[in-house]
Amino acid sequence: MELDLGHIKRISPPIPADNIPAHEEYVRLHRRRFWISLDMLQPILSSGCRVLSVGMEPGYFEAYLAIDSRCQMVGTELPKHQPVGYRYEILFEDSRARKSVKIPVSISEAGRDPLPFPDCNFDLLLFLEVIEHFFCRPQLAFSEMHRVLKPGGFLLLSTPNAQHWHRIGYLLAGRRYPDAEFGDDPAHRHHQVFSMRELEESLRAAGFSIAESRYRDCYGLAGGGFSAYSIVARALSLLPQYRKENIFMLAKRVRG
């Protein structure tokens, strides 16, 4: 199933005209991820809950949650164009519900610096398709997320699966996987990928318990083959940890 967020429009800061197609493509490409994330969040979402999205931009899913579930949404973003400490607001409109929402965003070097929020401040934290863009290991980020979550609060994480058979097929063929290709903007590159076991161990070390984990396909990346290498790699898909492209993990703050 998919969640189409084409009715969520970003009003300000305005999107440059030449960048509008990229935003539209983002909303189209991530429809299945949006639905899986919402499905995992449904049991814990409540009106008025305080939510922090780390690495929020462009923020369409967050705006949907803020409007549909009446969450108090706050975001952070990596310092791509503005310095750490800079703050701004994004205004979204829902053309179906005829409602709007402003989401405050703080520029923060998640993974390197403390999050700019007090202890025990949020009921839910979103960390969706962000960790793979880090230049550093995630231990500090997880510790900071644990700190700003209220006791019993939840963290939802999603990221590519390092053990996906298609990724292994590229490795066996001596090729770089497309998400790690060098491009003009390193912010779009995946600098590191994780297995579910690695993520579970890191989250537990930071004081979380694992409430739910899922392997899912979101983007249909496993097209094409590499002759004999694809046959070997495809055989791995018989095992669950190699079968799907993406990892989704819901963790709960249980310590400290």
Q: Measure Cα distances from 68 to 8, 155, 156, 173, 243 in Å.
A: 11, 19, 18, 45, 33
pLDDT computed for residue 220 by the predictor: 82
Instruction: Give the mean pLDDT of 205-227.
Output: 84
Q: What is the CATH number of the domain that holds 59?
A: 3.40.50.150
Is residue 229 in a domain?
Answer: no
pLDDT computed for residue 103 by the predictor: 98
Instruction: Give the mean pLDDT of 78-99.
Output: 92
Instruction: Kindly give, in sequence order, each residue whose CB lies less than 8 Å from that of residue 25, ignoring residues fewer than 6 positions away.
Output: none
Is residue 167 in a domain?
Answer: no
pLDDT computed for residue 208 by the predictor: 97
Say if residue 161's pLDDT is above 60: yes
Higher-pLDDT residue of 166, 50: 50
Q: What is the CA radius of gyration of the chain?
A: 18
In DSSP terms, 154 is beta-bridged to 124, 252
Is residue 170 in a domain?
Answer: no
Instruction: Give the mean pLDDT of 113-132.
Output: 95
pTM of the model: 0.92
Buried b (16+ CB within 10 A) or exposed e, 178-204: eeeeeeeeeeeebebbbebeebbebbe
Q: Which domain holds residue 203?
A: 8-162+192-221+245-253
pLDDT computed for residue 5 by the predictor: 95
- SS3 for 94? strand
Is residue 235 in a domain?
Answer: no
Say if residue 183's pLDDT is above 70: no
pLDDT computed for residue 238 by the predictor: 83
Q: What is the number of domains present in the chain?
A: 1
Is residue 184 in a domain?
Answer: no
Is residue 21 in a domain?
Answer: yes
Percent of the chain residues past pLDDT 90, beyond the cut: 70
Say if residue 169's pLDDT is above 90: no
Q: What's the N-to-C CA distance of the chain in angstroms?
A: 37
Is residue 233 in a domain?
Answer: no
Is residue 86 in a domain?
Answer: yes
* Exposed/middle/buried for residue 100 (C-beta within 10 Å: 0-12, 13-18, 19+): middle
